[in-house]
Amino acid sequence: MTLLPQSGTYLDPLARVGAQLKRAARLAGLPDPEGAALAVLERRGLPPQTRRLFPHQLSGGMTRRILFGIATISQPALVFADEPTPGLHPTSVTEVLADIRHLADSGSAVVLVTHDIDQALTVADAVVVCHAGRTIEEATPDQFTGDGSALGHPYSQALWQALPTHGFRLIHDPAALADEVPR
């Protein structure tokens, strides 16, 4: 099991990127940590010299790619991806989501936590909508269409309708939805 964190502060600020990748490879029991570290850089589209950099020398996109590489170096059975795409260029977002989909297709269970519903729908098998710390609905991606009427819960419908691509339609009485949350 592994965590793909949303913040670059999970990287050790005093250790070079290569050392952190090699450590992840050693912890995963990989026979060639140096080779595994270089392979991660190559897969993530980063030059080999990136391994000599410290985290503060990385751009935001580079940091996210290193975090993804560390989290997936061991081919984990479960990946918990916590907001892995904010701040990335749209092309990089597509690549990260494709990699997440590939992990799932390769047999890993992936939990993608995100506020970017439109992007998540491109890779999800199921969507769990939470409100006030509780699960209120599990839906399939194809239920997120049109005005959201295929969704079963009023909060899920309101969430869908409030997206920019749906005109920012906001619910007028949020308290009414709070009463709908199962206890």
Condensed to tens digits (0 to 9), the pLDDT of residues 41-75 reads 998 889 999 999 999 999 888 998 899 999 999 88
| pLDDT > 60? residue 180 | no
Q: In the numeric block, which tokens belong to residue 95?
A: 């690549």
Domain boundaries, the chain: 1-117, 126-183
d(C-alpha 20, C-alpha 33), whole Å: 10
Please write the tens of the pLDDT for every residue from 154-167: 889 988 988 888 87
Supply the pLDDT for residue 90. 85
Number of helices and strands (H, E) in the chain?
7, 5
Q: Which value, in Å, is the radius of gyration of the alpha carbons in the chain?
A: 19
Assigned CATH topology for domain 1-117:
Rossmann fold (3.40.50)
- Compute how many other C-beta atoms are within 10 angstroms of the C-beta atom of residue 77: 10
d(C-alpha 47, C-alpha 165), whole Å: 36
